[in-house]
A = this chain, B = another copy of it.
Amino acid sequence: MSPVWETEKRAPVLGIIGGGQLAQMLFQSAISIGVEVHILRSEGDQSLNSYAKELTVASSFDATTLYHFARRCDIVTFDHELIPAQIVSELSSRNCTMLPNATTLALAADKARQRRTLAEAGIPTPRFAVVESAAEVEAISAAFKFPLILKAARGGYDGRGVVEISSMDDVISIFGTSKMPVPYVVEERLDLDAELSVLVVRSSNRKEVSVYQPIRTRQHEGICVEASWPSHLPRSIDARAVEIALSIAELVDSVGVLAVEFFVVGGEVLVNELAPRVHNSGHLTIEAAKTSQFENHIRAVLGFALGSTDFISPASMVNLIAGPDAKEHRPLQLAAALSVAGASLHDYHKSPKPKRKVGHVTVLADSTTSASADAWESARRAMMAPLLGDPMAALGTHQN
């Protein structure tokens, strides 16, 4: 059956819930392939405010607001996973096409449920427990060695909702004062050899599936600060990560981009977590791959043919994240990033706050070492304050 926009001989209308940088880059891609875009943003979202014609501000993302928005669109997708899966499920039953679907979103939004589902399917993850109280941590403390990592099952992002604890005293204090809702996923702190991200693209027809080769990521204080390709890990590691990511896409019935984040520990590949959307680790696909994750996400949710996921060059992407003592700066200063030859800037048009991602730069080069050096130099020039995760900052050679 032809989609309704073909029958009506008009362009398809893609709705995006959220108006941050992911919506921004989806918007740019949609223009190229003839897809109209309607955005439903929250009051705080800034990225597209000066650009997008069809942009609605929602004071609340309740079922009624979302329903009225979805009725104006052919397909609705997301730039975050904050919409409760039950609302998505309810709208789907009222003839709104929401992709990814409620099943995928429910798993992504709940790390405890996610870990259990993966473990039941035989997919390797770090050893974990799900706890709701200090007593439950105490009960498992014989089997798990401190330091432990506690991750709130819901609501965390960019390092928020994650704490490291070194003793039962810490545990008691966390459960006494934390504002994070229970449950928590608990795991031992691992000595990581590397972190990887694999982006799987699965079409709404469920038959076409593509995958990008693994992207190496580097985190600082729980926030991704750099992503690069190729991974420079043994082929068997890359192949194993791709294999696992593809099986997870089937398992969770994802549509569009699904990002699977991995820990590499002692030659083993362990799934850390999932994000059912375009992902920070994949921003370098804009310049470094034949088709970007953004265009491929749109193609997938609309049922278009998927684009080539081949990389065309080694590349590094560095996030522009103000350090914790950042002074206020304005979008323009990001343009200083352009003074490094070959640097591609993506400005998110956000007012800065400590630890907020306000943009990123990508550099293609003959090697990831060279791309990384140039990307960091470009990022340093863009930011007036020390960059989060800057590898040179600790050496005291940071330049403003």
A-side residues, CB < 8 A to B, are: 5-6, 9-12, 24, 27-28, 31-34, 36-37, 50-55, 287, 290-291, 299, 304-305, 307-308, 310, 312-313, 330-332, 334-335, 338-339, 341-347, 349, 359, 364
Q: Which 6 A-B pairs have the closest CB atoms?
A: A34-B347, A305-B339, A308-B342, A9-B330, A34-B331, A11-B331
Interface-centre pick from A31, A308, A345 (highest chain B CB count, 10 A): A31
Q: Which of B6, B37, B308, B312 contacts A313 (CB 8 A)?
A: B312
Q: Which of B34, B335, B338 contacts A345 (CB 8 A)?
A: B34
Contact of A332 with B12 in the complex, beta carbons under 8 Å: yes
Q: Which of B10, B31, B313 contacts A24 (CB 8 A)?
A: B31
Contact of A50 with B50 in the complex, beta carbons under 8 Å: no
A353 to chain B, nearest CB (A): 16
Contact of B342 with A310 in the complex, beta carbons under 8 Å: yes
Q: Which residues of B contact A24 (CB under 8 A)?
A: 31
Q: Which residues of B contact A11 (CB under 8 A)?
A: 50, 330-332, 349
A297 to chain B, nearest CB (A): 13
A378 to chain B, nearest CB (A): 10
Q: Which residues of B contact A359 (CB under 8 A)?
A: 34
Q: Which residues of B contact A54 (CB under 8 A)?
A: 50
Contact of B9 with A332 in the complex, beta carbons under 8 Å: yes
Complex Cα spacing A10 to B347, Å: 13
Q: Which residues of B contact A9 (CB under 8 A)?
A: 330, 332
Complex Cα spacing A362 to B287, Å: 14
Nearest B-chain residue to A338, judged by Cβ? B305
A327 to chain B, nearest CB (A): 12
A397 to chain B, nearest CB (A): 22
A79 to chain B, nearest CB (A): 15
Q: Which residues of B contact A364 (CB under 8 A)?
A: 290, 312
A-B pairs with beta carbons under 8 Å apart, 18 shown: A6-B332, A9-B332, A11-B349, A12-B332, A31-B51, A31-B347, A32-B347, A33-B335, A34-B331, A50-B53, A53-B55, A290-B342, A290-B364, A299-B338, A304-B338, A305-B338, A307-B342, A312-B312
Complex Cα spacing A346 to B30, Å: 10
Complex Cα spacing A27 to B24, Å: 12
Interface-centre pick from A33, A37, A334, A339 (highest chain B CB count, 10 A): A33
Nearest B-chain residue to A333, judged by Cβ? B6
Contact of B332 with A10 in the complex, beta carbons under 8 Å: yes
Complex Cα spacing A37 to B48, Å: 12
